[in-house]
Amino acid sequence: MHNSQEGRKLKVGVLGATGTVGQRFIALLSEHPYFVIHALGASQRSAGKPYSKAVTWKQTRPIPSAVREMPVHECKPEYFASCSVVFSGLDAEVAGDIESAFRAAELVVFSNAKNFRRDPNVPLIVPLVNTSHFSLIPQQRSLHSPPLKKGFIVTNANCSTTAVVVPLAALEKAFGPIESCMITTMQAISGAGYPGLPSLDILDNVVPYISGEEEKIEWETLKILGGVTETDEGLKAFDMHARHPFRISASCNRVAVVEGHTECVSLRFARRPPPSPQQVREALANYTSDAYALGCPSAPRHTIFVHEEPDRPQPRLDRDFQQGAGVCVGRVRQCRVLDIKFVVMANNVAIGAATSSIINAEFAVNKGLIT
């Protein structure tokens, strides 16, 4: 679907439209070549208001004119019945039941929430890495009670997982299995949503704990990089150790940066001898995603940009590269404990959130999963 005629665009809805991720969805979708915003959903207190009156807009660009006066509805399927795609920026506290109801109503949901990431029939897709996991959609539909003809749910990963899993996937593709990995994150305050942390907690400070974050990185990475295998019952299943055991240890910190998660990574390859730092740089720089190859308009041309400067990447300088859709890596060097270490930075509210969901939807359209 490569046209920009308004009448031929697919109608989409946004759930959690007044929140941080919902606002980013709206900003990215406002001039999208495939999609046109048709319906907005938020909490009951926002319902019935025009969007401009319901939202505390926190994006750097103005509210798109097409949605300023668009009415906000409650997050109920009947208001979104004519939407081909629904993007969910809902908080996890409410996302589970709402997204489940939308799927049961034969709607296609691309979710940024965590609620269905562990579901054995729901793909957890970082679109720069594992679009092959869309192969689970027919099974998700058939096992639903009652079986579905059109509806399904796809989730994208946690923002900190997304940043690190892209270079890990590139290195596994080039050099084979990674045996172990140590990750230390410095995560932006926007990852906590709005209004986020109180200023007296984060200014002049580093908070060395983010609830649930370390566990998410450790198991989400295995699901994303793992294969899809067939069980004895003839069903498809995620094998989180399909190719090899992979040990991951993550430590997560909140820092006083607005946007852009930075992560220090050390890893050990199964192969001996391991690749050199220069071989690693070349493999990262040459990695191309299936989403870009398929022509998804939001997919970055350079999946991974490798910095040669000794002091990059930096969030303030690099988070908007390719509209925040790619991943930046720098300081690739030998690790004296494991094999290789580097720094990775990704825009947590772009490729780490809304942009991932949008590229996933673009991929599904190009593959004929959405009509």
CATH class of 6-158+354-366: alpha beta
User: pLDDT by residue (tens digit) across 301-339?
Assistant: 999 999 999 999 999 999 999 999 999 999 999 999 999
Across 49-60, average pLDDT: 96
**Are 112 and 357 spatial neighbours (Cβ–Cβ below 8 Å)?**
yes
Identify the residue with better confidence: 133 or 196.
Answer: 133
Show the DSSP H helices in the chain as ranges.
20-29, 51-54, 65-68, 92-104, 137-143, 159-175, 199-202, 213-225, 277-285, 290-293, 315-318, 355-366
Map residue 32 onto helix, strand or coil. coil
Q: What's the pLDDT score for residue 241?
A: 59
Active-site residue, selected from the candidate residues 83, 159, 252, 328: 159
Sorted by where each begins, the domain ranges of the chain are 6-158+354-366, 159-353
83 is catalytic: no
261 is catalytic: yes
What's the pTM value of the predicted model, to 2 decimals? 0.95
User: Is a pLDDT exceeding 50 seen at residue 85?
Assistant: yes
User: pLDDT by residue (tens digit) across 107-132?
Assistant: 999 999 999 999 999 999 999 999 99
**Are 165 and 346 spatial neighbours (Cβ–Cβ below 8 Å)?**
no
Active-site residue, selected from the candidate residues 261, 296, 307, 328: 261
Q: What's the pLDDT score for residue 233?
A: 83
Angle at 356 between CA 358 and CA 117, to 5 degrees: 110
| Structure token pair of residue 336 | 């004296």
**Are 227 and 172 spatial neighbours (Cβ–Cβ below 8 Å)?**
no
Across 143-158, average pLDDT: 97
Q: What's the pLDDT score for residue 2?
A: 43
Residue 315 phi, psi (nearest 5): -55, -50
| DSSP of 92-135 | HHHHHHHHHHHHHTT-EEEE-SSTTTT-TTS-B--TTT-GGGGG
What confidence tier does 239 reach under pLDDT thresholds 50, 70, 90? Answer: confident
What confidence tier does 231 reach under pLDDT thresholds 50, 70, 90? Answer: confident
Q: What's the pLDDT score for residue 237?
A: 85
Q: What's the pLDDT score for residue 5?
A: 44
Identify the residue with better confidence: 107 or 232.
Answer: 107
CATH of 159-353, one of 3.40.50.300, 3.30.360.10, 3.50.30.10, 3.10.20.340: 3.30.360.10
User: pLDDT by residue (tens digit) across 162-217?
Assistant: 999 999 999 999 999 999 999 999 999 999 988 889 999 999 999 999 999 999 99
